[in-house]
């Protein structure tokens, strides 16, 4: 289905934003509601469900935090994220130096965290049960951890030398956090440890300079402005302004040396890319100018370029329930990319005679109804 993604002619997303769209998030519970954040500070909430039941439909905006809202962000919204465990709450962070925790039902902020500098990125763990920490990357080299339970943001992680452009919790271990900075470094942290930093990823895997300390390790020869874990948490994909993307083994910290070629990345801030979930192989969807490049994560092959936006694509988000992709751009549009409908098989051809080799063994039906099999 992912290989046949195309711009859907039958599905529109209602156009509400009057300026570029920087960030999208689909809630993980039903995969039905989507948030978007714009460079004018506006946040919109959409219902992706086809309520009209017609083949052609528009995903309606349910409501928005618009310019006239008393608590609207003053500047560009860089990240929006649903609370991972229910849709009653969502979060947003902005260049106005705040992180806001919103009550979805009243559209009022339940809490507001203030920072000294611009906020580039924030993330809540999708799997945490023992903590309610939001990791926040700002203009400061210190990674901030905000505790939703206590409302304090006292905890900091020190080690980066420049601003922190991207943060992501592991989907496998609730205390493990990855951060990417303008200093070219990617650090993995265990937030329970006093020193915090577990490792600093090294693109050369320690070969070039065995004598040098870990402090010299860099993941990219440029600013690291995007990172994303694979859905099983075993690998971490990073992107830098050196026009490179790298895949790391998240437990050993090893650079797997997958070559994705030149990945054009001109973003001066965080780049929001996505990795598929539940596909085999997994795919990465990376904003690439006004297109979205689709790569196979483990071989680095560029599969296709999704063309449809008129201007720079800033973000994309994958909907795993239906293998769909949504992208947001500077052109103020959100586009829906849907797998092309399959060609119908004529009734007189039995399924058995069709070539089977393209079927992933994971999806084959191994269930047997006969009694005589042990």
**pLDDT tens digits, the chain, 374 residues: what are they?**
889 999 988 899 999 999 999 999 999 999 999 999 999 999 999 999 998 889 899 999 999 999 999 999 999 999 999 999 999 999 999 999 999 999 999 999 999 999 999 999 999 999 999 999 999 999 999 999 999 998 888 789 999 999 999 999 999 999 999 999 999 999 999 999 877 799 999 999 987 655 455 667 999 999 999 999 999 999 999 999 999 999 999 999 999 999 999 998 878 789 999 999 988 899 999 999 999 999 999 999 999 999 999 999 999 999 999 999 999 999 999 999 999 887 666 666 555 555 554 555 455 555 555 555 44
- In this prediction the pTM is 0.89
pLDDT at 53: 87
- Least Cα distance to 64 among 31, 34, 97, 95 occurs for 34
d(CA 129, CA 272): 25
Contact 155, 191 (CB under 8 A): yes
Contact 199, 215 (CB under 8 A): no
Q: Please classify residue 257 by burial: count the beta carbons closer than 10 Å to its beta carbon, then call 0-12 exposed, 13-18 middle and 19+ buried.
A: exposed
Enumerate domains of the chain plus CATH numbers: 2-339 (2.130.10.10)
The pair of structure tokens assigned to 11 is 């599905």
Alpha-helix runs per DSSP H in 86-195: none
Distance between start and end Cα atoms, the chain: 36
pLDDT at 244: 96
d(CA 79, CA 95): 10
Contacts 24+ apart (CB under 8 A), 127-130: 127/84, 127/169, 127/170, 127/171, 127/172, 127/174, 128/84, 128/169, 128/174, 129/174, 130/174
Q: How many angstroms separate the most distant Cα atoms in the chain?
A: 71
Residues 6+ apart with CB under 8 A from 214: 199, 200, 202
Sign of the torsion angle spanned by Cα atoms 271, 264, 203, 159:
negative
pLDDT at 239: 97
- Cα atoms in the Cβ-side hemisphere of radius 13 Å centred on 173: 13
pLDDT at 374: 47
Residues 6+ apart with CB under 8 A from 266: 241, 289, 312
d(CA 223, CA 33): 32
φ, ψ of residue 4 to 5 degrees: the values are: -105, 20
Residues 6+ apart with CB under 8 A from 314: 20, 21, 22, 23, 267, 271, 272, 287, 328, 329, 330
- Least Cα distance to 155 among 134, 141, 172 occurs for 134
pLDDT at 361: 47
- Least Cα distance to 266 among 301, 290, 302, 296 occurs for 290
pLDDT at 266: 77
φ, ψ of residue 138 to 5 degrees: the values are: -130, -170
DSSP string, 207-258: -S-TTS-GGG--S-SS-EEEEEE-TTSSEEEEEETTTEEEEEETTT--B---
pLDDT at 358: 53
């Amino acid at each position: 289905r992912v290989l046949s993604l195309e711009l859907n002619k039958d599905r529109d997303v209602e156009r509400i934003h009057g300026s570029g769209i920087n960030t999208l998030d689909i809630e993980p519970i039903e995969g039905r509601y989507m948030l978007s954040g714009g460079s004018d500070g506006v946040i919109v909430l959409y219902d992706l469900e086809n309520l009209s039941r017609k083949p052609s439909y528009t995903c309606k905006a349910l409501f928005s935090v618009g310019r006239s809202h008393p608590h609207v962000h003053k500047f560009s919204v860089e990240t929006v994220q649903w609370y991972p465990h229910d849709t009653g709450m969502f979060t947003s962070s902005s260049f106005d130096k705040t992180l806001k925790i919103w009550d979805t039902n009243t559209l009022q902020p339940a809490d507001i965290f203030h920072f000294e500098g611009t906020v580039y990125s924030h993330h809540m763990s999708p799997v945490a049960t023992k903590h309610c920490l939001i990791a926040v990357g700002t203009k400061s080299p210190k990674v901030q951890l905000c505790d939703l339970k206590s409302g304090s943001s006292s905890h900091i992680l020190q080690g980066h030398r420049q601003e922190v452009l991207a943060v992501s919790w592991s989907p496998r271990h609730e205390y493990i956090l990855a951060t990417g900075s303008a200093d070219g470094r990617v650090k993995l942290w265990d937030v329970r440890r006093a020193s915090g930093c577990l490792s600093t990823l090294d693109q050369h895997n320690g070969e070039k300079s065995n004598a040098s300390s870990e402090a010299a390790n860099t993941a990219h020869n440029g600013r690291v402005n995007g990172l994303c874990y694979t859905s099983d948490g075993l690998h971490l994909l990073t992107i830098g302004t050196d026009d490179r993307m790298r895949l790391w083994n998240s437990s050993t910290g090893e650079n797997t040396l997958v070559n994705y070629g030149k990945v054009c990345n001109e973003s001066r801030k965080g780049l929001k890319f996505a990795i598929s979930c539940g596909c085999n192989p997994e795919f990465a969807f990376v904003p690439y100018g006004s297109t979205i490049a689709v790569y196979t994560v483990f071989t680095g092959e560029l599969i296709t370029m999704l063309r449809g936006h008129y201007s720079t694509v800033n973000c994309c988000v994958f909907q795993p329930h239906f293998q769909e992709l949504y992208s947001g751009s500077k052109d103020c549009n959100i586009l829906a990319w849907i797998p092309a409908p399959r060609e119908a098989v004529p009734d007189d051809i039995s399924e058995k005679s069709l070539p089977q080799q393209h079927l992933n063994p994971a999806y084959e039906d191994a269930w047997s109804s006969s009694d005589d099999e042990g």
